[in-house]
Chain A
Amino acid sequence: MSNLLASLSTAGHALDVYQQALDTVQSNITNAGTPGYAKQSLNLEALPFNLSGGLIGGVASRGLDSARDEYAEEEVRRQVQSLGLYEAKVQGTSSIEQLFNISGTSGIPADLDLLFQSFSAWSVSPNSAIAQQTVLSSAATLGDDVRQLSTSLGATAQNIRSQIGATVQQINQLTATIQQDNVQRLKQSSPDPGLDANLHSALEQLSELADVSVVSQADGTVNVLLSGGSPLVVGTTQYAIAASAAVPTGATNPIAPASAVIQDSQGTDITTQIQGGKLGGLLDVHNRVLASMIGDGNQAGSLNQFTKILADTINGILRSGTTSSGASGSALFVYDNSDPTAAARSLTVNSSLTGADLAAIDARGNSNGNALLLVALATAPNAIGGLTFGGFFAGIASGAGQESSIAQNNQQTQQEVVSQTRSLRDQTSGVSLDEQAVTLLQYQRAYQAGARLLTTINSLADELMNLIK
């Protein structure tokens, strides 16, 4: 009778265990689309069976195994972080590129052409009121467009700073989630797949925003640090970061446009630590790409440099001459000279100047000598930075275009890399170690063959390029 009861008990227990196995499968199916969820499997163990020894066998559950492989997760996060970087760069540099007219049929390149054409017409008829007026109106149009471009670039910088602030807020929200997960984890005796999914989803989202490193602890919690070492989450403590805008201490121009700054929870500037993720991309566009055009605490910026040298050169020629009435020449352009980064946004035509005040006569008394000097500026090869004025501005515009093009190419490539790494993660995680080793060896050999072919093709293409150049 006791044996019968024992058998019934064993069978009943086995049913419980298989119910757990079914629940596990059901949970896997239900969570197939849950971000961060890893497939679980129930460890089953056969119990000893020896009737003479009173062991009646059966099956027991030995807890859940997760298919998650932390290395594979880390690899995905690493690639996602690069994708975040490139996506932010594409967004930022595309908005800058759109402000420039690369073709030169409108905007500043066309304004420059019209100004030099007006100088040319004026040199033919230095006393023509129409020619003089055309010079003034062409100069005014150029001034308007330079100011407009500078203002638009400034607005873009402001927009990017807003995005930086929003991204920092997202980072702090995610690290708060991770900190809460750590708190929950410490309260539990065994891993919780739901909590684990939540944590890994937050970590993957975080890696898209910044270059973070994740260190798993023995107690099941994770520490999250920025790549430079600043902590974001350590155990059950969150360290929030903050975004601000300031001219760096010790900068040569304290009234220049502000740089974007990221501070750790102690207020220390950690901007340079952030090189990856969306935040890294936004910082790069703001503090490097835009600053190189509109300036910052340590540089005037190429657009201001262009404006100042163009205005100073034209003004210098006009001031050295005399008008038909014998008066000394006056400046055509005025701009705010108190701040090297203000030239472009303040460029206007001298409002007190009339057409008759334009000094066409040069120092030797030639009636159109000065006007001809201005005409020659159009093609002067060393007008600015070893280039013509048009060439220098084209360099600024094409620089913006190149930044955008490189970012787009990198983004497209990285999207494929991320997709591939996710597939590799899913394919190679959660299988037995032996099976995993065989699969990895097969893949490795296949990739090796591909790399050899591609290396050879690249060297042949290089050789051919050199031969036909």
Chain B
Amino acid sequence: MNSLTLEDEISRHLANACSCVASARRFWDALDHTRREECYRFLTMAMEDLKTACAFVRRKQASPIGVLTDTLANLQADASLLLRLVDTSASFCRGMARRIGAADTCEERSGPALKAEG
């Protein structure tokens, strides 16, 4: 049985991450707790796959997979769209909270990013 090469591993994790972010994008619903949780589950999976892919690329210390830039670009496009939807939802809530005098109960935007190192 053939074992996967490093390039295969990187491609696989990147494809998984891309697919997970696309799924997260489909599940996003600002008002539906269940769908939002599912969306976040996919995002967490995507993050883990990206961390692993990063670790593999760093270990290889080469740049043999330029072809994967399209996959990454798609992933970034989906993530950017989702972030815009999340940001506008958060912005809406902040404004509403200020309007009804509940601003002190609401926290500011995203806080620090999760640790990105793989």
Contacts and interface: CB of A to CB of B under 8 A. Distances in A.
Given A437-B102, A440-B96, A458 B80 contact: yes
A295 to B, nearest CB: 34
B69 A71 contact: no
A438 to B, nearest CB: 8
* 3 closest Cβ pairs, A-B complex: A451-B110, A437-B102, A460-B50
Given A452-B113, A454-B43, 15 more contacts: A79-B88, A417-B84, A420-B85, A424-B93, A425-B92, A428-B92, A437-B100, A443-B30, A447-B87, A448-B111, A454-B79, A455-B113, A456-B114, A456-B115, A468-B65
Nearest to A72: B96
A430 to B, nearest CB: 12
A69 to B, nearest CB: 7
Contacts of B77: 409
Interface residues of A, number: 47
A208 to B, nearest CB: 17
A467 interface: yes
Nearest to A413: B81
B76 A461 contact: yes
Contacts of A425: 92
A441 interface: yes
B57 A416 contact: no
17 contacts: A417-B85, A423-B31, A437-B97, A443-B90, A444-B106, A446-B33, A447-B30, A447-B90, A451-B109, A454-B43, A454-B86, A456-B116, A458-B83, A459-B113, A460-B47, A461-B76, A469-B69
B93 A447 contact: yes
Interface of A: 69, 71-72, 75, 79, 409, 413, 416-417, 420-421, 423-425, 427-428, 433, 436-437, 440-441, 443-465, 467-469
Given A436-B102, A454-B43, A468-B57, A416 B116 contact: no
A451 B39 CA distance: 12
B106 A441 contact: yes
Interface of B: 14, 17, 21, 28, 30-31, 33, 36, 39-40, 43-44, 46-47, 50-51, 53-54, 57-58, 63, 65-66, 68-69, 72, 75-77, 79-90, 92-97, 99-102, 105-107, 109-116
Contacts of B109: 448, 451
Given A420-B89, A433-B100, A444-B94, A467 B110 contact: no
B82 A454 contact: yes
**Interface of A, helix, strand, loop or mixed by DSSP:** helix
A100 B99 CA distance: 50
A27 B39 CA distance: 38
A243 to B, nearest CB: 32
Contacts of A417: 84-85, 88
B63 A448 contact: no
Given A421-B92, A440-B106, A451 B69 contact: no
Contact of B113 (A409, A427, A445, A456): A456
Contacts of B84: 413, 417
Given A436-B102, A451-B86, A455-B113, A443 B93 contact: yes
Nearest to B54: A464
A71 B53 CA distance: 44
Contacts of B86: 447, 450-451, 454
A460 B107 contact: no
Contacts of A433: 100-102
Contacts of B102: 433, 436-437, 440-441
Given A436-B100, A444-B97, A451 B83 contact: yes
B95 A75 contact: yes
B111 A452 contact: yes
Nearest to B81: A413
B90 A451 contact: yes
A454 B81 CA distance: 10
Contact of B46 (A409, A413, A457, A465): A457
A468 B30 contact: no
A459 B83 CA distance: 13
